[in-house]
Structure 1
């Protein structure tokens, strides 16, 4: 099926379910395209299926048509390389096949120019594109460059370089590219398919979480050095140290859930002064959304993470730890998903965030333990020109155990430990629409004087932020905010007032 159809009013419209997979999502210099003498695209390799031959012929014949404005013999606009219902990159383990749970209908704006990935020779960090000249014949300053699955940018300048053109660009929104759009998805995020077997330095096979990496200061990403603990209940483990704290992450993967353990320790004077442990089971949510564009303006939008479930136990123990605040977001990702939503790449990153704060003088100690369960949906919705949090968390259970804190007379003791997981971000064309959203639990224990009392408590929070710039509206939350009022439960036997 040709995804472009010429309607009576000459509107170019994309119809059809989401494509299965997309190649060359991360383009590097020379990765998508050959030498000048080669046919742009090599689409048979790009698609990796039997349908490639016909698609390649169509792409070669029509590569100069730019946005596909000429009418074909059957009344349809000619197909442009990359404008296919079935893109394929079966070796890219980051991609999630959305199946039939995606619906995309968009009418392109007059200034939108569609260029195949195969016509992209290179992309620089400032979003300057080198394109095959024939494929980019209609790309001009002021037009909107749409490379399905890769780029959505406003063209600033075009420079002829012989067989190629250099295109400098700036930000563009979906409303710049589409006059009309109805886009929806409801996609399950698998966990058992997020692992690949790679040889380690000794040649032994090791299951690695796909796409998991640590982002360095220069913007590059390195693979996390996970190790396999044979015989352990959670076999995948990674250790990281920073600012005197040691973090140990451990994962076990089931068919539909993750077993997770996070351990934080701080040594002082040759012994462990602080130990936090979070351990439990989490089921990944479904990512769903709806976007409506009417007349080149955003009409409505909903971005949701649905069906999240978790059962986690927190424990903490500290002795003479001094003052030791923690606000640690894992410097990388645990899981990365790329979901093709028609020509739009939806990217979901998942990691963890740990928070804590202790104020425990020498010869003082604090211990605490709590369990919490959660389940529901969380996200944001736009209607009537404003964005509202859309959170439904009916399944929340918090069970703190009585605290055990001790100190010399007059010494105040306070200890808190919290885990936010899954800590998620949602992006379209790599532009964060929901930069962060997460459920989190904080376990606290304190000892105070005047009068003497001990207490233990847990707080459940759901927090997030949004930025709808990619949708064509300058609505953003700024800092991360509470999406629901924090829920606090005090342990039985709490002797503190207020």
Structure 2
């Protein structure tokens, strides 16, 4: 039986990897430089591969000219001799890049073309102990190698604006402007002093609605571990620890109607952690905006609320069941302005922002579609015309969820949403009779 302890092998040069937004999709990707990856503060990689497996070293991956993640097609230069010798049916670990099963290898126009198909981590490892812990920071050093990636929304009215601010402490400033489903969206991210990532998201619809979500998230510690025994995953955990944040939601609407809008902001920040120079763990930071109006013609609704919090969010699978871990603590919910709704009958509006929303991948495969905090602000009024018992409330609700899909880890039964924490604060206007 062949046994490999990867940390005894040559370790590729590492430092910080930070991809913010590049225009268009990401179907055709080259390997990129390993020197941009985050180096874990602590890490373990002790493994025993199965038969009919092999690995391609990171130095050979440097000859990768193109990779199509959808089709599993690799294009290598003619110098990648190890790749040319790969056999059909072999499960291959392309170090620092991906894990695939070989379908064909051929030379074409001076290039080595490799066709591949999906393979699970448990197809490659018989035994594995993989773990790491590392800070994920937003300071100047943490964004020094930043690029920009913007996906294509349903409709585009203006190109993204990408600007770098002057000054040593300002760092990178990213701003995009798009139209999505009739809403004009502006999205800004700015690393600032104090190791914070500042966010500002605005959405406007003609002259009937304006929404602003503004705040920040702090640096945090990313932790994960995987244990495979006898070719089966026995343990898998992930946690974001020590993440502090603030989000203030403001909205004002007049005659907006009742059409629900769920707007996925077409922007992704990626940070990739490279465990022992071999296994890439990718964190993708996203944001979503959800709008739930019931504001008929002649009605209006507005609110202004803020949440500050500390959080430790994650989950742990122990071989038979999934458990959530962590909480949202030191949380403070407050009204920062008027929360009013005016109507002749019943009206209200709710706005939710999912930020931070992390997606986590291993070797190019998504295992956590989301680990998020959803903050939802709403204002509601029932005038009580029938029973003379009006109800006017403002509510700030926040909930943390993890979506976990362990197919890549060989556990097909885990593909669910798991609630980590949920809290709500409600304010009643003077003279309200809500449920009493």
Specify the TM-score bucket, using the shorter chain as the normaliser. Answer: 0.7 to 0.9
* 1:294 aligns with one of 229, 232, 257: 229
2:307 corresponds to 1:360: no
Which entry has the higher C-alpha Rg, 1 or 2? 1
Distance 1:246 1:482, change over 3 A: farther
Distance 1:211 1:471, change over 3 A: farther
Aligned position for 2:378: 444
**Which has the bigger relative contact order, CA under 8 A and spacing at least 6?**
2
Aligned position for 1:328: 263
Kept in 1: contact 2:159–2:177 (CA 8 A): no
Distance 1:262 1:273, change over 3 A: same
* 1:171 aligns with one of 118, 129, 135: 118
Counterparts of 1:366 and 1:352 in 2: how far apart (Å)? 24
Normalised to the residue count of structure 1, the TM-score between the two structures is 0.73
Aligned position for 1:460: 398
SS across alignment from 2:408: helix
Deviation at 1:156, TM superposition (A): 2.9
* Unaligned segments of structure 1, at least 5 residues: 1-8, 33-45, 47-87, 197-208
Distance 1:236 1:299, change over 3 A: closer
Identify the range of structure 1 (10-19 vs 258-267) with the bigger mean alpha-carbon deviation.
10-19
Counterparts of 1:123 and 1:308 in 2: how far apart (Å)? 34
Deviation at 1:120, TM superposition (A): 4.2
Kept in 2: contact 1:379–1:391 (CA 8 A): yes
2:353 corresponds to 1:419: yes
Deviation at 1:283, TM superposition (A): 0.8
Aligned position for 2:103: 156
Deviation at 1:328, TM superposition (A): 1.1
Deviation at 1:291, TM superposition (A): 0.7
2:423 corresponds to 1:487: yes
Aligned position for 1:129: 74
Number of residue pairs aligned between Structure 1 and Structure 2: 406
* 2:198 aligns with one of 259, 270, 277: 259
Aligned position for 1:180: 127
2:315 corresponds to 1:380: yes
Distance 1:241 1:310, change over 3 A: same
Deviation at 1:107, TM superposition (A): 1.9
- Larger % of strand: which? 2
* 1:317 aligns with one of 249, 252, 266: 252
Q: RMSD of aligned C-alpha atoms?
A: 3.4
Normalised to the residue count of structure 2, the TM-score between the two structures is 0.82
Distance 1:452 1:295, change over 3 A: same
Report 1:9-158 matches (<5 A). 10-16=2-8, 19-21=12-14, 89-90=34-35, 92=36, 95-98=37-40, 100-115=41-56, 116-118=60-62, 120=64, 122-124=66-68, 125-130=70-75, 134-136=81-83, 139-158=86-105
Runs of 4+ that moved beyond 6 A: 22-29, 160-164, 228-231
1:48-67: CA deviations, max 9, x gaps? xxxxxxxxxxxxxxxxxxxx
Deviation at 1:378, TM superposition (A): 1.3
2:434 corresponds to 1:497: yes
